[in-house]
């Protein structure tokens, strides 16, 4: 148990993932996703009718969204072990993770503000809902930069036994490329790129879920190998 | 015990005070900025912007408009000052990261703490300031919009929970798993109260009056009292930890 | 430690693990502080209750006192096991202490399951978090208590991990027991104030 700190931070992620997935299933706006073409009255009515489900699911997301990404702090620590010329990429990676999760939190708070007074004029509720969706779906550049830093570090890792295997680098590049198209959700209201569309909602979140799952196993292996290697030296 | 851990706990007996002070000079200077930051923070929130103690969520639109009109100027002075000094919040994070990394299993926990606290500044400090300033900039805005900005201010200020929950857990874990005695265990326990109070703030999203509203006896007053106790504990303890640092110590990577 | 001996000696002295209380001294600080915080919650509850006594009494009728009492019995049994475990650890019997601490954890899980059942029953009956002030207090106080209980289970899990290695560290078991007794006592107070007070 040399790396108990990494193991704790790693396992926090699946626990939070379960809670967040439950919250998202109960959030009435995700199954199926709310359409950007809903009229003002429809959106206002949606918030009035589902007020307690929205509050409960978003409070859960509020409590656990930052913790959910603690696994990527472990990824940063593993990146520092790589034989890259400097640890700069590791720090850049952790910084990008912090930015990603900041926007999740802001999106969550916008939904909660909208649900705080559902009797608000529909125009404002629609604005808050739009801001929440845009913060939630659009900032893919930050996620892509995370993936880019990690992939670069893996390719630069000169160790004979790489900290993370090459397929993780390709996984990161793939995840970045597949989620990037959802940036278009800020400019269109319907079609596959709208925030409820095939690319911006379904593909994006399925890719994200698969990415987190595979990264979990890759990091778990990396920690195991680190422990074994340090055990051998000691 | 690894060589690194041994270096951290080595007792050095014959070092002149002058040399010892020189090795921690930067940390001591930075440290004294923190009480200064919190003094400004208190001045802005309590005296100038009048958001602490917070006004009631149950106010009518007319009262909210009046709030922005009556305090508009002081809100602007206060939050402009706050925006200038917000970054100093990260001094505490920087110093804590240095010393959390000195604990036995501190590396990952230190980064997790730094990561979560950094996230917390934006939704928990800057967003309420910006929302309030947007309200004060045009108090003649439609009442509905002012009410929305008012809600946004207080829900983000009192309700940014996850970032701080995430910061306290690695802090507590690092101290409880530590064998280098960098921080005393009571400080971890005190942090647990602070962690629980984040959960006690959940009801602010549900209630507009009573003990659980954002100005309520439980969700605001008890939580704030616990936070003040914790804030004092962390400052006192950090100061001691800095001063107990062995001279010539190598900082862990 | 000689460098900062002057500034630290009184602190070290104060927090030194002298054997004048069972378990770790810092844990007692935590317990006392926690009681202080809960006292604040109870005082606020009583004040609000005094403002709307009839409303609180009417709402209180919908709580299931039997479930409350079963919960109490479950927790007190757990406390008894953990106290017994502390005795066993003092005698150096790690195996006995281990099984007793595990029984305490089982009581904790039963308590949590009963609590979730009780909440779902109240919610199905239409008494939700925002129904009235009384139910606000009910869900918040029982919820905070449940968070304490979950922490307690984590603490006991650390104790179990240690005992599994065959180390009968009585200070650690006592520290866990202190925490668990606090969870128990807080529950008794909640039972008295929320379920029973007329």
Of B119, B148, B163, the CB nearest to A113: B148
Chain C nearest C-alpha distance from A197 (Å): 35
User: Is a pLDDT exceeding 90 seen at residue C99?
Assistant: yes
Token pair, residue A110, equals: 């916008």
Specify the pLDDT at position B6. Answer: 52
Q: Is A63 on the interface with B (CB under 8 A)?
A: yes
DSSP-derived secondary structure letter, A30: B
Nearest Cα residue in chain B from C12: B184
C-beta of residue A63 within 8 angstroms of C-beta of residue B202: yes
Mean pLDDT of the region A193-220:
93
Pick the closest to residue C48 from B63, B57, B207 (CA basis). Answer: B207
Nearest Cα residue in chain B from A112: B205
What is the phi/psi pair of residue A164, to 5°?
-120, 140
DSSP-derived secondary structure letter, C2: G
Chain A nearest C-alpha distance from C95 (Å): 23
Chain C nearest C-alpha distance from B196 (Å): 7
Nearest Cα residue in chain B from A13: B166
B174 CB neighbours in chain A (<8 A) are: 5
Subunits next to A (3 or more Cβ pairs <8 Å) are: B, C
CB contact under 8 A, C151 and B206: no
Q: Long-range contacts for B67-73 (Cβ within 8 Å, ≥24 apart)?
A: B67/B150, B68/B135, B68/B136, B68/B139, B68/B146, B68/B150, B69/B139, B71/B136, B72/B136, B72/B139, B73/B136
Of A8, A70, A113, the CB nearest to B155: A113
pLDDT tens column, A155-198: 999 999 999 999 999 999 999 999 999 999 989 998 899 999 89
Nearest Cα residue in chain A from C128: A52
Chain B nearest C-alpha distance from A123 (Å): 10
Specify the pLDDT at position C168. Answer: 83
Specify the pLDDT at position B3. Answer: 53
C-alpha distances (whole Å) from B177 to each of A43, C28, C98, C158 are 49, 19, 21, 11
pLDDT tens column, A108-144: 999 999 999 999 999 999 999 999 999 999 889 999 9
**DSSP string for B187-205:** HHHHHHHHHHHHHHTGGGG
Subunits next to C (3 or more Cβ pairs <8 Å) are: A, B
Specify the pLDDT at position B58. Answer: 87
Q: Could you count the other beta carbons within 10 Å of the beta carbon of residue B209?
A: 12
Mean pLDDT of the region C142-165:
92
| pLDDT < 70 regions, chain B | 1-15
Q: How confident is the model at residue C19 (pLDDT cuts 50, 70, 90)?
A: low
For an interface test with B, which of C136, C138, C148, C158 has the most B Cβ atoms less than 10 Å from its Cβ?
C136
Q: Which residues pair with A30 in a beta bridge?
A: A33
Q: What is the Cα–Cα distance from B142 to B120, expressed in whole angstroms? A: 30
**DSSP string for B128-154:** HHHHHHHHHH-TTS-HHHHHHHHHHHH
Specify the pLDDT at position C1. Answer: 37
Q: How confident is the model at residue C128 (pLDDT cuts 50, 70, 90)?
A: confident
C-beta of residue A65 within 8 angstroms of C-beta of residue A106: no
More confident residue, A159 or C167: A159
Pick the closest to residue B168 from B150, B184, B190 (CA basis). Answer: B190
């Amino acid at each position: 148990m040399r790396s108990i700190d990494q193991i704790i931070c790693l396992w926090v992620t699946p626990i939070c993932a379960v809670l967040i997935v439950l919250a998202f299933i109960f959030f009435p706006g995700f199954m199926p996703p709310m359409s950007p073409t809903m009229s003002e009255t429809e959106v206002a009515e949606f918030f009035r009718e589902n007020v307690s489900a929205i509050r409960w699911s978003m409070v859960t997301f509020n409590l656990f969204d930052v913790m959910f990404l603690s696994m990527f702090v472990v990824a940063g620590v593993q990146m520092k072990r790589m034989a890259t010329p400097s640890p700069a990429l590791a720090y850049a990676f952790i910084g990008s993770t912090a930015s990603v999760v900041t926007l999740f939190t802001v999106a969550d708070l916008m939904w909660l503000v909208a649900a705080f007074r559902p009797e608000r004029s529909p125009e404002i509720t629609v604005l808050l809902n739009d801001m929440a969706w845009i913060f939630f779906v659009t900032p893919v550049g930050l996620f892509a930069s995370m993936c880019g830093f990690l992939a670069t570090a893996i390719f630069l890792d000169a160790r004979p036994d790489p900290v993370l295997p090459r397929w993780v680098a390709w996984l990161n590049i793939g995840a970045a490329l597949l989620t990037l198209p959802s940036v278009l959700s800020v400019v269109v209201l319907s079609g596959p790129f709208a925030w409820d569309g095939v690319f911006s909602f379904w593909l994006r979140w399925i890719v994200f879920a698969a990415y987190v799952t595979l990264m979990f196993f890759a990091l778990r292996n990396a920690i195991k190998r680190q422990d074994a290697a340090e055990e051998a030296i000691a | 015990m690894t060589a690194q851990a041994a270096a951290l706990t080595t007792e050095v007996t014959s070092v002149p005070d002058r040399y010892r002070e020189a090795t921690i000079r930067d940390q001591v200077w930075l440290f004294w900025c923190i009480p200064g930051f919190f003094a400004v923070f208190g001045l802005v929130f309590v005296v100038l912007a009048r958001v602490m103690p917070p006004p009631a969520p149950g106010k009518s639109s007319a009262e909210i408009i009046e709030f922005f009109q009556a305090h508009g100027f002081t809100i602007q002075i206060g939050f402009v000052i706050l925006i200038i000094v917000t970054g100093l919040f990260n001094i505490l994070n920087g110093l804590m990261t240095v010393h959390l990394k000195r604990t036995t299993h501190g590396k990952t926990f230190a980064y997790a703490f730094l990561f979560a606290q950094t996230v917390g500044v934006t939704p928990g400090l800057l967003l309420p300031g910006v929302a309030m300033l947007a309200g004060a900039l045009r108090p003649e805005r439609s009442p509905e919009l002012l009410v929305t900005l008012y809600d946004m201010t207080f829900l983000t200020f009192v309700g940014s929970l996850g970032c701080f929950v995430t910061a306290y857990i690695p802090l507590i874990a690092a101290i409880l798993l530590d064998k280098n005695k960098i921080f005393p265990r009571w400080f971890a326990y005190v942090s647990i109260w602070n962690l629980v109070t984040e959960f006690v703030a959940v009801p602010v999203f549900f209630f507009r009056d009573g003990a659980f509203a954002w100005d309520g006896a439980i969700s605001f007053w008890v939580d704030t009292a616990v936070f003040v106790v914790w804030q004092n504990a962390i400052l006192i303890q950090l100061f001691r930890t800095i001063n107990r640092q062995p001279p010539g110590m190598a900082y862990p990577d | 430690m000689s460098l900062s001996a002057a500034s630290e000696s009184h602190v070290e002295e104060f927090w030194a693990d002298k054997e004048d209380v069972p378990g770790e001294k810092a844990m007692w600080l935590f317990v006392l502080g926690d009681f202080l915080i809960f006292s604040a919650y109870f005082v606020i509850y009583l004040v609000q209750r005094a403002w709307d006594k009839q409303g609180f009494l009417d709402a209180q009728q919908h709580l299931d006192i039997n479930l409350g009492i079963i919960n109490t019995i479950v927790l007190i049994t757990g406390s008894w096991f953990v106290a017994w475990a502390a005795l066993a650890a003092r005698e150096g019997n790690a195996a006995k202490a281990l099984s007793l601490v595990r029984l305490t954890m089982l009581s904790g899980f039963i308590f949590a399951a009963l609590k979730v059942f009780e909440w779902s029953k109240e919610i199905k009956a239409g008494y939700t978090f925002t129904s009235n002030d009384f139910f606000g207090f009910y869900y918040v106080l029982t919820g905070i208590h449940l968070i304490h209980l979950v922490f307690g289970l984590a603490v006991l899990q650390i104790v179990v991990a240690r005992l599994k290695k065959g180390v009968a560290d009585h200070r650690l078991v006592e520290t866990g027991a202190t925490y668990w007794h606090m969870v128990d006592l807080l529950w008794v107070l909640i039972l008295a104030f929320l379920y029973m007070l007329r």
